[in-house]
Structure 1
Amino acid sequence: MKKTFKIYAVIFIIVMLILALLEVNKKETINWRKNFNINEKSPFGLFVFNNEAKDLFKNNLKKTEQTPYDYYSQGKKGIHNILVIEKDLDKESWKKILDQVSNGSDAMILVSRVPKDISDSIGYHSSDISFEEENVLKLTDKEYQNDFIKLDKFPSGRGFSYIKPKVEVLGKTVERNNSDQANFIKTSFGKGTIYVHCEPLFLTNYYLLKSGSLKYTQDVFSYLKDRETVWFVENDTKVSRFFMRFVLSNPALKYAWWVFLGGLVLFIFFNAKRKQRIIPVLEPLRNTSVDFVKSIGNLYLQEGNFHDMMAKKAQYFLNKIRMDLLIDTQNLDAEFVKKLHLKTGKPTEMIDEAIALVRKGQDPYASVMKEDLVRMNKLLDEILK
């Protein structure tokens, strides 16, 4: 195992341990988003209402994920109740709902905003009427005047800024510092009736689980007649078939999954970089000429032929003088010594001694000792420096 891989592995394990400790000690966060999803157990989901709806409508409730336009375009439907809770609908779907109400159906619409041309046709204008952090929703009917619900978490503050004549107010928002504002109305439309409540927050899990809140909800839906009710729910409630749905639905597993993928990407990035190939060490070619010369020199020394070695050294010296210093070596006289002195700057005594040894090496009858060879080699090398 490579050293770099071990380092990356240790760093990855340390990071995972730190993240695990942070995950264990982390406080669970609450999702306060107003999603109005029937499968959500978060504070502002409709999970509780969805479970209680069957009893609330006496098992005469039909849920559909189709839009009102698609649902009513399939054929003629009988007279029934229509339920819409904080759902984004296109104008054609709203028109289909109004057509059904005109034919005798009743519609309970619990939304904070409706397209202006639709609200105008019903007979009201809605807007933000309050910025208080707490609201109290009450019904105006004497039979229900003791039933109310307190909104203490993110109320929308919506209400009806204008209501046409013949529109009946069924509920209102009560605040300490402001006058009461209508939030629940009833109006006849053709042969049917439309109920509009612009604060659907009271149907969410957070408020339905509070004691006394369920009574207000029952009072609101008591205005609908006892018959089949079609509830148009959001069409994103189908269970995902994605094979990672369990991991991604669990916050801890989802966090660990993304950390794993991030670590894997980093590992691939650092190890995929191009690495330089190892350059082999090439031994330089040996100068065999030097080895050859050394071998020949050792051979001469072993045989003790110092005279021949002095002759070859003298020949090499004179050839060097001719080639490099351009001095004639035909006569090794005083004139030659003078020229060599001027060219090299060496003392004449040294040159005279070297010339004497050169002549001795050139004389085939001279008696040569090893000391003469050593001395001559030293002087000639000194002169040629």
Structure 2
Amino acid sequence: MNKTFRIYAVIFIVVMVILALLEVNKKETTDWRKNFDINEKSPFGLFVFNNEAKDLFKNHLKKIDRAPYEYYSQNKKEVHNIVIIENNIDTESWKKIMDQVSKGSDAMLVMNLMPKEIADSIGFHSSDISFEDENVLKLTDKKYRNDFIQLDKFPSGKGFSFIKPGVEVLGKTVERKNTDQANFIKVKFGKGNFYVHSEPLFLTNYYLLKPGNVRYAQDVFSYLQDRETLWFVENDTKASRFFMRFVLGNPALKYAWWIFLGGLILFIFFNAKRKQRIVPVIEPLRNTSLDFVKSIGNLYLQEGDFHDMMAKKAQYFLNKVRMDLLIDTQNIDEELAKKLQLKTGKPMEMINEAINLIKRAQDPYASVMKEDLARINKLLDELLK
């Protein structure tokens, strides 16, 4: 055994011992990501709800791990219940769901955001209604007034605005400093109904394990009729749990994996150092941020969706006003215009024109031209100087 190899072996052993000690003494950290995975026991997984769902739906529940489009294309169903919980559904599948509801089925959608074209078809518009760290979810029905749930960890702050006539509000988000905002609605659609809840956190492990919170979940799903219920779960949930999830979940295998990676890195490092000859000149990475912004801008222009661009520009401006000028932008009115005039020193005519354009941008039914987009962009940039 030559001297060089012995040096490498000693370095490798020392590094592996250090890695092992670090792993042994490492404290387990809580995963607070909102994964909404039925197999996850982390705070914002759906493991508890998944185990209790059959009892909640009186054994009428059937989990479907296929896309709604694929399932309904192959199965003809009588009227039934449909449950979607924070699932990415494609457009064609949404059309199938809407067709089932129009024929008499009921759909319970528990999601932060709905696709715009679907929300417009059903009759509402979802948006940010809260920026508080805590709030309370309550139902409007008097028989459920004692059943509520307090969200004290990362509430999404999503709710409903621009609700069309005929939409029934079943639940609200309650805060100390703000007025109550709708978060649970019922929409009549054909012969059936859509029930849409904008805050799926109440179904996660963290909240269901708290005493009394299960009753709120039971109340929400009690609006569905007692009949067959199809729950469309993530299509690739099983496939996504590849072998590394098992390896990293077992401490012994995890340490072996890290030792293997460490040895491989050392081998590559020392082996490459011995055989390396000419080092090629590597050009520094070019900053492509501006090109990316231009590409996105060109894409919007090609689509011709000037209204969406105006809405994003207005949202960005209002956020800057809240963060930089410390002005409340909940109400877009004369009071806001006066505060902007005092803070920015800009002419009141300019501010009033900008506010009118912001209102148009926030109105999903307003007609917007290219010239309006150019004007609001110029005005809002001028106000923020």
| TM-score in terms of structure 2 length | 0.68
Is the contact made by 1:23 and 1:252 (CA closer than 8 Å) also made in structure 2?
Answer: no
CA pair 160-242 structure 1, distance change in 2 beyond 3 A:
closer
Q: Which whole-Å CA distance do the structure 2 matches of 1:44 and 1:243 have between them?
A: 22
Percentage of identical aligned residues: 78
Q: Which whole-Å CA distance do the structure 2 matches of 1:240 and 1:138 have between them?
A: 35
**Runs (4+) of structure 1 moved beyond 6 Å?**
none
Is the contact made by 2:36 and 2:44 (CA closer than 8 Å) also made in structure 1?
Answer: yes
Aligned counterpart, 1:163: 163
Aligned counterpart, 2:98: 98
How many residues are aligned here?
Answer: 275
The letter of the residue matching 1:197 is H
Moved more, 95-104 or 12-21: 12-21
Aligned counterpart, 2:130: 130
After superposition, give the CA deviation of every residue in 1:124-181 in whole Å (9 maximum; x if it has no partner).
1110011101010000000001100011111000011121111111000000110000
Is the contact made by 2:20 and 2:255 (CA closer than 8 Å) also made in structure 1?
Answer: no
Aligned counterpart, 2:41: 41
Unaligned runs of 5+ in 1: 276-385
After superposition, give the CA deviation of every residue in 1:276-334 in whole Å (9 maximum; x if it has no partner).
xxxxxxxxxxxxxxxxxxxxxxxxxxxxxxxxxxxxxxxxxxxxxxxxxxxxxxxxxxx
Aligned counterpart, 2:372: none
Moved more, 10-19 or 240-249: 240-249
Aligned counterpart, 2:65: 65
Please provide the CA RMSD for this pair.
Answer: 1.9
SS in 1 for 2:196: strand
CA pair 170-42 structure 1, distance change in 2 beyond 3 A:
same
Q: For 1:70-89, what aligned pairs fall within 5 Å after superposition?
A: 70-89=70-89
1:30 and 2:30 are equivalent in the alignment = yes
| Bigger-Rg structure (1/2) | 1
CA pair 28-241 structure 1, distance change in 2 beyond 3 A:
closer
**CA shift at 1:12, angstroms?**
1.4
CA pair 25-6 structure 1, distance change in 2 beyond 3 A:
same
Q: Which whole-Å CA distance do the structure 2 matches of 1:241 and 1:207 have between them?
A: 25
SS in 2 for 1:227: coil
Q: Which whole-Å CA distance do the structure 2 matches of 1:269 and 1:88 have between them?
A: 42
**CA shift at 1:261, angstroms?**
2.4
**CA shift at 1:250, angstroms?**
3.6
The letter of the residue matching 2:138 is K
Aligned counterpart, 1:193: 193
Aligned counterpart, 2:362: none
**CA shift at 1:30, angstroms?**
1.0
Is the contact made by 1:80 and 1:230 (CA closer than 8 Å) also made in structure 2?
Answer: yes
Q: Which whole-Å CA distance do the structure 1 matches of 2:241 and 2:223 have between them?
A: 40
Q: Which whole-Å CA distance do the structure 2 matches of 1:108 and 1:78 have between them?
A: 17
| TM-score in terms of structure 1 length | 0.68
**CA shift at 1:253, angstroms?**
3.5
Q: Which whole-Å CA distance do the structure 2 matches of 1:6 and 1:178 have between them?
A: 69
The letter of the residue matching 2:182 is A
**CA shift at 1:257, angstroms?**
1.2
CA pair 88-188 structure 1, distance change in 2 beyond 3 A:
same
Q: Which whole-Å CA distance do the structure 2 matches of 1:182 and 1:122 have between them?
A: 16
**CA shift at 1:266, angstroms?**
2.0
Q: Which whole-Å CA distance do the structure 2 matches of 1:173 and 1:243 have between them?
A: 41
Is the contact made by 1:247 and 1:253 (CA closer than 8 Å) also made in structure 2?
Answer: yes
CA pair 86-66 structure 1, distance change in 2 beyond 3 A:
same
